[in-house]
């Protein structure tokens, strides 16, 4: 059940938060954080480091290559005008 006052009207879709909506929302967020903390405690994140570093390096190379290709495409167009 949702706490809060609903606006009634033909075109009204907004909901005004009620007295306890903020408190309920914060409790839900806290439960989610507890789950994340327990997952985080159970995973050795260091085993992913090498793969992540390779992925970041590859992304940087792809980004640089894309930038060079875009520059090569645009330069002739600029000079032809």
- Same-domain status, 50 and 77: yes
- Same-domain status, 12 and 31: yes
Q: What is the pLDDT of residue 21?
A: 86
The secondary structure element, H or E, covering residue 16 is strand 15-17
- Domain span at residue 73 reads 45-81
Overall pTM > 0.95: no
Residue for token pair 């409790």: 27
- Same-domain status, 57 and 24: no
Structurally, the chain folds into a number of domains equal to: 2
- Same-domain status, 36 and 65: no
Average pLDDT rounded to a whole number, residues 48-77: 83
54 or 12, greater pLDDT? 54
Q: Are 21 and 4 in contact (CB under 8 A)?
A: yes
- Same-domain status, 2 and 26: yes
CB atoms within 10 A of CB 18: 14
């Amino acid at each position: 059940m949702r706490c809060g006052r609903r606006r009634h009207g033909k075109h009204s879709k907004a909901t005004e938060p009620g007295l306890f909506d903020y408190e309920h929302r914060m409790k839900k967020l806290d439960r989610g954080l507890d789950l994340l903390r327990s997952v985080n405690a159970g995973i050795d994140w260091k085993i992913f480091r090498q793969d992540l570093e390779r992925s970041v390096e590859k992304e940087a190379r792809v980004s640089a290559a894309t930038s060079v290709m875009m520059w090569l495409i645009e330069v002739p167009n600029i000079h032809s005008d």
